[in-house]
Amino acid sequence: MTRRRATILLHWSVFLLAILIMATSTPLAALNWAFAICGLAMVAIALVKGLMGGPGPKLQGALRTAHPWMHRALYAGLAYASVAAAFFELDRPLPGPELPRLMFFVISVASLHGIFHLWRHTALGDGALRRMTPKAVHGIL
């Protein structure tokens, strides 16, 4: 599996797992462990290989400068949330928000991240959504 495919698979798996964790009324260990593993795998790929995409030529000014730092912050948050999910299952919760509140935060930040890239894709026309969507979806983008 290529780095691109692995990153795309993990990207959407983490988002779906966060939604499923929020949707369940009682915590499910399998979902928490899957989130922790997928999230840490995604962070590990980014640490070893670097971030997959840059800001693109059409993103200018402060947003261009902030782009890599915003993504680094997303990965740091994902790392914390993944470790927190694992430690929650080990009955050793980390300091900070409880897991449901943390998952709400993850989904909120992920939604803002998606809106930003949707804006880039539509307003700037730089094809930002093509970076993280499966090739089968590219025809409708």
Report the 3 state secondary structure along 52-109.
Answer: CCCCCCCCCHHHHHHHHHHHHHHHHHHHHHHHHHHHHHCCCCCCCCCHHHHHHHHHHH
pLDDT tens string 46-85? 999 988 877 888 889 999 999 999 999 999 999 999 999 9
Residue bearing tokens 């929020």: 22
Q: What is the pLDDT of residue 127?
A: 81
Does the pTM surpass 0.75? The reply is yes
Q: Domain coordinates of the chain in residue numbers?
A: 3-140
Cα–Cα distance, 83 to 99 (Å, whole number): 11
Q: What is the pLDDT of residue 132?
A: 80
pLDDT category of residue 25 using cuts at 50, 70 and 90:
confident
What is the mean predicted confidence (pLDDT) over 96-108? 92
What is the mean predicted confidence (pLDDT) over 32-38? 98
